[in-house]
Structure 1
Amino acid sequence: MYPITLNLRGRRCLVVGGGAVAERKVQGLLAAEAKVSLVSPDLSPALRELAQAGRIGWQQRAFVPEDAAGAFLIFAATNRPLVQQAVLRAAQEAGALVNVVDMPEACDFQVPAVLRRDGLLLSVATSGASPALAAVLRARLEREIGPEYAVLARLLAALRTPLLKLPLSGPAKKMLFQKMLDSDILQWLRDGRKQRAAAHVEAVFGHLLPVGRILDALPDAPWTDTNP
């Protein structure tokens, strides 16, 4: 397996099935801003609500091979082996990436257990060997990786864009970010000491960048302490 994240924004993705498993696949695709089509004679209440709201397309019938045409990625999420096999063959013929639930050996990709912290995306995969273990590891990450990591990720991204335009060497730029990461900034953010965090950013980058303006443009502003 080769680890990768896919940009599915605006891509047509097909889910075959209408139960709980299909529901999870659809929710993940919607979170990735994919254009979701679903084929199933019936849907779970949650999926039916999404279809009625126009968030997904729904063909209320059995799968036919032509459904795979034009899809970038396909999930076979039914409990019927013959349908699963038919979806697999159609996806392969259409050149689409395919994931067949409960058939890891037939899949082009596996779906990891995912933890989202705003723009931060963490995933754990076991190459299909044990989704339960992946879920346990994800839960551990959720306990250890708090919202302060997302704040730091936004901050670093906002600093990186203008810094890349400066005539500094690659090692010099890397050293600046390392000063950030080697500090206690995560603990300050976790404790609500945003003013202390902002002061450290100013100390590291203030001689190069308009730090105050950059900080004020972030959704985490104002950079004042939130705990007494």
Structure 2
Amino acid sequence: MRVVSLVPSLTEAVAVTAPGLLVAATDWCSHPSDLDVVRVRGTKNPDVPAIVALAPDLVIANEEENREGDLAALRDAGLDVLVTEVRTLEQAFAELERVLVDGCGLARPGWLAEAEAAWRDVRAPSERRTAIVPVWRRPWMVLGRDTFAGDLLARLGVENAYAGHADRYPRIPLEELSAAGADLAVLPDEPYRFTVDDGPEAFPELPSALVSGRHLTWYGPSLAEAPAVLGAALRAARG
């Protein structure tokens, strides 16, 4: 079977489970670090003719990361496109099984059971915190409603200050963010690479938790490590 992945987390999931299946991935597919496949540009601007020329048996995509127009063009070229939707941890586990078992014809991988067990063992602290979770700046954008990352943080005792916003990734002026009543800023290193300097500059009154974007936003093998990695970063951010 020949698979093209247009989602970094799904690329890692397939590569770790059955590396011989992947024939192409996006430029943003950075894990595993030694991944050696054809690159077909980005998640938002895939090289459709190049993908079609590879004649894959399956293209795997995501409703949030990939544009419907590109996916429609792939389907019109006769390719089978499997599109995932992941807004909760339970959805992530279900969609991973759909991609790997139903889509790729693989046995359910051991790492997926390990990830489920890791999250099943999570015990959120009794003291819950409220956080601003930026994903971009210039302009400032934050996590809003119904996001996978927001669901993971909630399981670790951190409520998203904008979980009730009408938009999933709202643009919020910095002065409004500063007045949101949060007691923590969670700063991932992707898609925008926030650094130790961003928190004090933007939110001088709040402790900042610098977290791995891969562990916060990717659904794949990283989920097995995510509770420990994210939990440690959140515990370290105390005012």
Q: TM-score range by the shorter chain?
A: 0.3 to 0.5
| Greater per-residue helix proportion | 1
Give the structure, 1 or 2, with the largest relative contact order (CA under 8 Å, sep 6 or more). Answer: 2
- TM-score by structure 2 length? 0.32
TM-score scaled by structure 1? 0.33
